[in-house]
Structure formats: C-alpha cells, structure tokens
Amino acid sequence: MLNLQAPRSTATWQNWSRNVRARPARLVHPRSEAEVAAAVIAAARQGQTVRAVGAGHSFNPLACTNGLLLDLRQFAGVVRIDRTAAEVTVRPGISLWRLAMALNKTGLALGNLGTLASQTVAGALSTGTHGTGAQCRPFAGQVRALRLVTADGSVQVLDQESDPDTFRCARTALGALGIITEVTLGCVASFNLRVAAHTELIDGLLERFGEWARSADHVALCWQPWDDRVLVRSLSRSPEPRTPGAARHRYLATLSEVRCAAAGLAGRRRPGAVPWLAGRVAGPGAEAPCYVDASYRAFTFPQPVKFLAMEHALPLENVPAAIRALRGALRRAGHNSPYSVLVRVGAPDDAPLSPAYGRQTGYLNLTVPRTPGYIELLRVVEHVARELDGRPHWGKAHTATAEVLEPRYPEWSTFQRVRAQLDPAGLFSNDYIHRVLGRGIVAPEVAAGTCDRYRGAVPAQGGG
C-alpha cells in the first residue's frame, strides 16, 4: 500500500539524458489503478500538482513537478492478449520492448515502432512517438481503448464509440488530461522485415522525395550536412526467415552511436575536425548487406549514449525545402554534430495534438551532444522547421509556446475544451504544460480554492 502521509521526498528525479532535474514533494511508485487514484486525490487535497513519468526519455521538463511525481514503471505488464480480436491490453509502465517480446510469443506484433524500445507505452502515446512508413500513423494510432484517472480520482474508460473526442484527445495528451492506467492496442500477425541500405546523392533523392517516401513499407534517410550523399534505409515485409546472425545488425547501430559520441567529445576542442572524425568513425556508414529479422528487432536498437534531440513534423512536401535550407544553414553554423540528420515519414493522424494531425508527414530530427556549442545547432534547425510549418515533437527539445503552436493545430480548441472538462484546476500541469498549452480554463469554484471536486471515490478496480 502507498503511504500517502510520508514525509516530503528528498529524492531528485532526472530524465534519461540527464539534462532535466526535479525535486518532487512526493515520488510515488504505484502498482495499481486504485493506488494511482488515491495518490491523485491526496495530492489535490494537499494543493500539489501531479505529473507522471516512465522511462524519462523526454528531453524537456515534461515530467517535472514540485508536487506529486508518479513513476509508472512498476505499474507494468500485460493484462491480456486477445488473438482473435488481434488486441493486447497492457498497464502503462510496460516497455515497448517487453510488450513486443510478449506479443511475438503469441504470433502477434505491433504494426510499427520507433527506434527506442525502452520507452514505456504511456510515455510513447503521450508524446506522439512514431516510427516511419507512409502508411503508418504514430504509435498512438494503434490505440483502441484506454483507462484514464482524472483530476477527481474517477476513471474515464475511453474508446472511439463511447466518447470519440475525449478518446482522440487522450491518445496524445502530454499527461495533461490525467494518468493513463490501461491501454488496449490493435495488433497484427507477427512479421519479418527485410532491411536494406544504400547511399546516393542527396539532390537526386530530394527531386523524387514523394516517390521515395512510398518506395518501401518503412523508409528513413540519414544525412550529414557537410556531405552530398545520404544513407537510405528501407524496411519491407518479407516472407523470408530471419537471416542467421541478424541480431548483430541492430547492435551495429548502437556501435555507431558510441562512435558518434566519441567524435563529439573530440570536436569540443576542434569543431572543424568533426566531419573528418565522423567520416572515419561515425559517418552514415557504408552500404550494408541486406538482412531479414523479426519486425520489433529490425525497428529498434539499444541506445546507451546520452544526447539531446530536436524533431519537427513537417508537411511531407516541405521536407525537401527544409533539407536544402538546412544544408546552407548548418554548414555556416561553425559546429557540426557527429550525428546524422534523420528523416522519416508517416501517415496523417486524427488526435488533436498529434504532430501528424491531418497531413502526410515528414519527420526531421537532429541529434547533438549535450554541450553548448552543439546545442546552438538546435536553434538553427528549429528556425528552419518553424518557417516550413513544423510542429515540434512534444518530448524533444524546442522553444515553442502556445502562441506559436495554436495556429498549427486545427483542433486546438477541441483539446482545450476536453482539458477544461477533465482538469479545470490544472492539477496535471507544470511550467512546460503552461508554456506549450497555456493555462487552460479554470472553473470559478476551483479558482476560489475549493477542493470538493477531488473527493471522488477510488474506483473498484485494484490489485497490481
């Protein structure tokens, strides 16, 4: 049982990349929905705000609070797998990797994943995490139902039929509507992917960018701005069996990141040497032989190196212009990141705060070492992306405010209406939420100081 009367926490929480820290008044590790609801009610009565966190892979203060911080990693596991309906129901703290392995044992798989498998399911949903593929929506597009503990401690059971607007908003909500306690995801039959890579001239690729984006089930390109060539990866569904030794290929990507980190350290003293160093130890890589692996292994690779990243979702047709603009801007910047600019693609989404909302999307990502000279490169990318109607990834570095973001989201008002209904007092807010979403609408009785709305009964569902 949770001790909600425990003395103030002395723990300092920090995110994965160690660039964000917080000292919450309470750091709680719930194991059930009932414990989440009880903690939310207690925090509200004590005048504390509430945030939730999983693996901490956001590069901004999304999870920070000086109130109650709910670490959901112990509230994990698979609740049930329905092979007939091709659905899996999970608790919020399960990692994508453990979920994928559990599904694989039953002959099922997630239709698409990003590269980072250590994220929790709730974290991936809440920030708009995605993989790549012109026919693939973000990860939250696979959600069929979810349970959400709201500000009065009650539970909303959401799906497309019962409350379509609230369901769409909750699929990507930055934790601003409540605490996700259960998620049902649609699955597909397990499948293998054939992975191929080659290099080509960037100008030729940009001329046929739309065609390239649809040339395989999943595509990505890696480009280092001082180079006129790009590494192109394609992943296509294949009936072939796994290639012997296929597992080592995903660790080659890990090794490349380690080498990038080494080049970045050396470049702190001599920024101009980074292209030379990266060309030898951390470049986009030579053409690799094709191989076939299980989908969840082909999509992901371990990422032990700490870094910072910025990503924007652009209209797909604007990506070539963005790369052309970045080619000049980054070459003039005086610093070079040893990491490649990564470009992926995705299908339109209908969650009001999804960066892919309403349009075929190209995702433009820049990763940099965690030092000031490199971080300045993120400002260059943000300026170019913003000029081309980019929407920042909610979990990555950016400086956008609600004033910048509101015109970029056609259903901004839909989300704000649902937010005002579920959390009129801003219980699930922090400085970051205020910056990117505004302070919302506060009900008069809450503004006056009453906590009556937080005295709802703890739902019957309990256990761990």
Q: pTM of the entire structure?
A: 0.91
pLDDT of 138-160, one tens digit each?
999 999 999 999 999 999 999 99
Q: What is the pLDDT of residue 247?
A: 85
pLDDT of 21-66, one tens digit each?
999 999 999 999 999 999 999 999 999 999 999 999 999 999 999 9
- Cα separations in angstroms, 214 against 129, 209, 225, 235, 287: 20, 9, 24, 11, 21
Q: What is the pLDDT of residue 264?
A: 82
> Based on the structure, what is the number of domains in the chain?
1
Backbone conformation region of residue 389, classed left if phi is above 0, alpha if psi is from -120 to 50, else beta: left
Q: What percent of the chain is modeled with pLDDT above 70?
A: 90
Residue 237 pLDDT > 90: yes
- Across 231-260, average pLDDT: 91
Residue 442 pLDDT > 80: no
Confidence of residue 9 (pLDDT cuts 50, 70, 90): low
pLDDT of 293-347, one tens digit each?
999 999 999 999 999 999 999 999 999 999 999 999 999 987 889 999 999 999 9
CATH of the domain at 222: 3.30.70.2520
- Across 172-179, average pLDDT: 98
Strands 26-28 and 21-22: unpaired
Strand extents, DSSP E, 113-191: 143-149, 155-159, 179-186, 188-189
pLDDT of 207-230, one tens digit each?
999 999 999 999 999 999 999 999
Answer whether residue 295 is part of any domain.
yes
Confidence of residue 255 (pLDDT cuts 50, 70, 90): confident
What distance lies between CA 123 and its chain's CA centroid?
Answer: 7
Of 108, 74, 112, 117, nearest in space to 88 by CA: 108
Answer whether residue 151 is part of any domain.
no
Q: What is the pLDDT of residue 257?
A: 86
pLDDT of 365-424, one tens digit each?
999 998 887 888 999 999 999 999 999 999 999 999 999 999 999 999 999 999 999 999
- Across 107-114, average pLDDT: 97
Q: What is the DSSP string of 65-87?
A: -SSEEEEGGGS-SEEEEETTTTE
Residue 8 pLDDT > 80: no
Q: What is the pLDDT of residue 5?
A: 54
Answer whether residue 18 is part of any domain.
no
pLDDT of 45-57, one tens digit each?
999 999 999 999 9
Tell me how far apart the alpha carbons of residues 453 and 424 are, in angstroms, rounded to a whole number: 10
Q: What is the pLDDT of residue 209?
A: 98
Answer whether residue 402 is part of any domain.
no
Residue 455 pLDDT > 50: no
Answer whether residue 428 is part of any domain.
no
Answer whether residue 406 is part of any domain.
no
Taking residue 205's Cβ as centre, other Cβ atoms within 10 Å add up to 19
Which has more pLDDT, 9 or 207?
207
What average pLDDT is seen over the chain? 90
CB 277 within 8 A of CB 266: yes
Residue 244 lies in domain: 192-392
Q: What is the pLDDT of residue 261?
A: 84
- Across 77-96, average pLDDT: 98
Q: What is the pLDDT of residue 374?
A: 86
Tell me how far apart the alpha carbons of residues 331 and 55 are, in angstroms, rounded to a whole number: 34
Residue 451 pLDDT > 70: no
Answer whether residue 32 is part of any domain.
no
Q: What is the pLDDT of residue 36?
A: 98
Answer whether residue 224 is part of any domain.
yes
